[in-house]
């Protein structure tokens, strides 16, 4: 892949600090680096094409497809969004006709958010396209390999979450530069 760099050793050829080199972990670090870069490029393409739905919007919509209705706080938590940005995001999605709001019957301070029929239709269409794309891309891989990959990614997410709990919050790029430092020392 263009621009991809092996990250399995330090510039002097020695294993990273902390002991012996583990080729499997080195390969995983490299794969995560490549995956993260591809995901950033995908987000950039969406933005350049003027897509009306960002990744954050899609995460919110997928939460709403799984739940009939949720509060803004729950939407932020389940879609892993900044709670301060959810109101503006819901405003945008509502203006596009994808979601609707409803005040709670017993507590007027609570606002419930749900998908409209148009929203359900658009989410279903996007999900169908992604399922087809993934099915084609992984048609030659046995299910047990995909299940293993899923477990690895879920474990990696836990490792990332533990990193956040152990240290003061760092900007994403600082964390990535530490985790994915290339042999030349470049991030």
Q: What is the reported pLDDT for 166?
A: 66
| 3-state secondary structure (DSSP) of residue 35 | helix
Per-domain residue ranges of the chain: 1-51, 55-119
- Ramachandran angles phi, psi of 101, nearest 5°: -110, 150
Which element (helix H / strand E) includes 83? helix 83-95
Question: What gap in Å lies between CA 80 and CA 155, rounded to an integer?
Answer: 17
Backbone phi, psi, residue 51, to 5°: -55, 140
Cβ partners under 8 Å of residue 133, min gap 6: none
Residue with token string 């899923």: 150
The fold of the 55-119 domain, in CATH, is Arc Repressor Mutant, subunit A (1.10.10)
What is the predicted pLDDT for the residue at 6? 42
Write out the chain's pLDDT in tens, 187 residues.
444 444 444 444 555 565 678 898 899 889 888 988 988 888 788 777 767 678 788 889 999 999 889 999 999 999 999 988 999 999 999 999 999 999 999 998 899 999 999 999 999 998 999 899 999 999 999 999 999 999 999 998 898 888 766 655 555 544 454 455 444 444 4
């Amino acid at each position: 892949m263009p621009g991809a760099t092996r990250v399995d050793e330090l510039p002097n050829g020695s294993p990273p600090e902390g002991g012996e080199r583990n080729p499997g972990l080195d390969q995983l670090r490299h794969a995560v680096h490549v995956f993260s870069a591809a995901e950033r490029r995908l987000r950039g393409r969406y933005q350049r094409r003027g897509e009306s739905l960002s990744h954050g919007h899609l995460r919110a919509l997928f939460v709403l497809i799984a739940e009939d209705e949720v509060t803004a706080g729950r939407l932020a938590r389940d879609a892993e969004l900044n709670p301060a940005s959810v109101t503006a995001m819901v405003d945008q999605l509502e203006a596009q006709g994808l979601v609707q709001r409803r005040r709670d019957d017993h507590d007027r301070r609570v606002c419930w958010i749900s998908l409209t029929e148009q929203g359900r239709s658009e989410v279903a269409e996007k999900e169908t396209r992604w399922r087809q794309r993934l099915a084609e891309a992984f048609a030659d891989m046995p299910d047990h390999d995909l299940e293993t990959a899923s477990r690895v990614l879920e474990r990696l997410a836990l490792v990332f979450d533990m990193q956040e709990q152990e240290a003061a919050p760092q900007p994403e790029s600082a964390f990535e530069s530490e985790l994915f430092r290339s042999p030349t020392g470049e991030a």
